[in-house]
Structure 1
Amino acid sequence: MANEIILSASGLTKEFKGFVAVDDVTLSVRRGTIHALIGPNGAGKTTCFNLLTKVLSPTAGRIIYNGRDITKMSPANVARLGLVRSFQISAVFGHMTALENVRIALQRRIRGDSFDFWCSERVLSSLHDEAWELITAVGLTEFAMIPARELSYGRKRALEIATTLALDPEMLLLDEPMAGMTQEDVERVSALIKEISQKRTILMVEHNLSVVASLSDRITVLTRGKVLAEGDYATVSKDPRVIEAYIGVPHA
């Protein structure tokens, strides 16, 4: 199982009116690992991430998830298969409590394609315990009844992870989970990601290299839309091409 590929892309390409943002990228993510996608600004990380999660459609290439070709699937159908993503901007309902946000996500999982948010008291009660379990899992027990808009940025990100977990994903894709956080929040969310990775595969785009070093099993480095290097942190951090891409020092 540890060597099984859960998500792969081959020849992945995205062109915008003559500009190639992602250029013939091949990527393989092993089941049960934390895989980081990194690179300098403008490297094509977010575009690649959006292709993998079907927010964008590729110009060319193929994406396989759990042995199934998802290249032409909609984001919603991909999510139903267990491939779920977060976004750079925290997406929670600010006027609702943390607990209510998680319960809404649980309702979505149970009610499928229904757009009816109104449930009977019996149904809501049945979701209450599971919502509390998720709130506890992300360290928000004491903030459960506080409106989401009043939470710190880091705790909003933790809440977003809880609502994502409510969909019971097999693989979680995190888009810059540490962006804009204080060091305290970074440490809290890093610990959370490490904890949830015990039962799930994680692919993340992240700029904080200390977080990448501490969490990632494998790293893919992009630059100018292409794969520059791949391996564990010790390997890629010493690669002269990676050093040049990040700090502009030419290698011999």
Structure 2
Amino acid sequence: MAEAIVETANLTKSFKGFTAVNDISMRVEAGTIHAMIGANGAGKTTCFNLLSKFLVPTSGTIRYQGQDITRLKPDQIARRGMVRSFQISAVFGKLTTLDNVKLALQRQRGESYDFWGSHHRLDHQGQRAMALLEDVGLEEWADTPAAELPYGRKRALELATTLALDPKVMLLDEPLAGMGTEDVGRTAELIRSVAKGRTVLMVEHNLGVVADLCDRITVLARGEVLVEGDYATVSQDARVIESYIGGARHD
């Protein structure tokens, strides 16, 4: 069994008597792409917000690289290398695609945006930013204001700005949502590419989308883990067919 990089034990979150996440214990192995999926109301967003520290659990623990991070804040886990995509990668529409990535690179160094600086440092920063744009297929859009990017390209820019922080774990909240078929395929391959040497934990609602992309899938239902395993395992589970796939046919 591979080493776990993120683990939860008996994770629970209640809101005024309503339990949105109930006693979830899951294990994310280092170097894998792991998806949490489920129908609307399954608890996946609440669980994701707990893992990314935007919510504090009612009970249970979260461990990252063997250390208890249950009570840490989002910026504290980001500095340790566990980064949620929108947390840092907000797109600034009036800035060019390249400048958005430069800004993220400076955020990694903990500095304000450089309107001036040594030629060497600025040149190095520009080269690194262009390399990140190449990694996500946006080099031709470098001088385009981010607001003018097509939707799928904006999501690619968000990945680039997240990569600028050199994360060990990327937390992606429905990165394929709202995309057409062509963009879904392109973005899925992009996630696969940038995941090399990293761990990706993503929330998704579509089992088919993650079939070829993810190494492991956790299916949630009514705030609890229904089943966990690879696609072959979860897609053939009778409980998944009944409560998730079957339910999706009526949406």
TM-score (ref. length: structure 2): 0.94
Shift in Å, 1:209? 2.2
- Give 1:32-51 correspondences, 5 Å limit: 32-51=31-50
Between the aligned partners of 2:136 and 2:170, the Cα distance in structure 1 is: 15
Q: Where does structure 2 lack aligned partners over 5 or more consecutive residues?
A: none
Identical pairs, percent = 60
Residue 80 of structure 1 corresponds to: 79
Residue 156 of structure 1 corresponds to: 154
Letter aligned with residue 226 of structure 1: E
Equivalent pair of 1:228/1:241 in contact (CA under 8 Å):
yes
Between the aligned partners of 1:109 and 1:102, the Cα distance in structure 2 is: 11
Between the aligned partners of 1:127 and 1:248, the Cα distance in structure 2 is: 49
Between the aligned partners of 2:191 and 2:181, the Cα distance in structure 1 is: 15
Letter aligned with residue 117 of structure 1: Y
Residue 116 of structure 2 corresponds to: 120
**Structure 1 residues 120, 126: closer, same or farther in 2, change over 3 A?**
farther
Residue 57 of structure 1 corresponds to: 56
Give a deviation string over 1:115-172, Cα, whole Å, max 9, x none. x334533243331100000000000011010000000110000000000000000010
Between the aligned partners of 1:10 and 1:131, the Cα distance in structure 2 is: 38
Equivalent pair of 1:24/1:61 in contact (CA under 8 Å):
yes
> What secondary structure does 1:177 align onto?
coil
**Structure 1 residues 234, 145: closer, same or farther in 2, change over 3 A?**
same
Between the aligned partners of 1:199 and 1:230, the Cα distance in structure 2 is: 23
> Does residue 26 of the first structure (1) align with residue 25 of the second (2)?
yes
Q: Where does structure 1 lack aligned partners over 5 or more consecutive residues?
A: none
Equivalent pair of 1:92/1:156 in contact (CA under 8 Å):
yes
TM-score (ref. length: structure 1): 0.93
Shift in Å, 1:184? 1.2
CA RMSD of aligned residues (A): 1.6
Residue 180 of structure 1 corresponds to: 178
Give a deviation string over 1:2-38, Cα, whole Å, max 9, x none. 7000000001010111110000000100001111100
Shift in Å, 1:86? 1.7
How many residues are treated as equivalent by the alignment? 244
Equivalent pair of 1:178/1:208 in contact (CA under 8 Å):
no
> What secondary structure does 1:241 align onto?
helix
Between the aligned partners of 2:141 and 2:208, the Cα distance in structure 1 is: 28
**Structure 1 residues 87, 243: closer, same or farther in 2, change over 3 A?**
farther
- Give 1:1-20 correspondences, 5 Å limit: 3-20=2-19
> What secondary structure does 2:34 align onto?
strand
Give a deviation string over 1:208-237, Cα, whole Å, max 9, x none. 322210101111010010001011111111
Between the aligned partners of 2:86 and 2:103, the Cα distance in structure 1 is: 18
Residue 101 of structure 1 corresponds to: 100
Give a deviation string over 1:25-59, Cα, whole Å, max 9, x none. 00100001111100111000000000001010001
Between the aligned partners of 1:172 and 1:68, the Cα distance in structure 2 is: 18
- Give 1:198-213 correspondences, 5 Å limit: 198-213=196-211
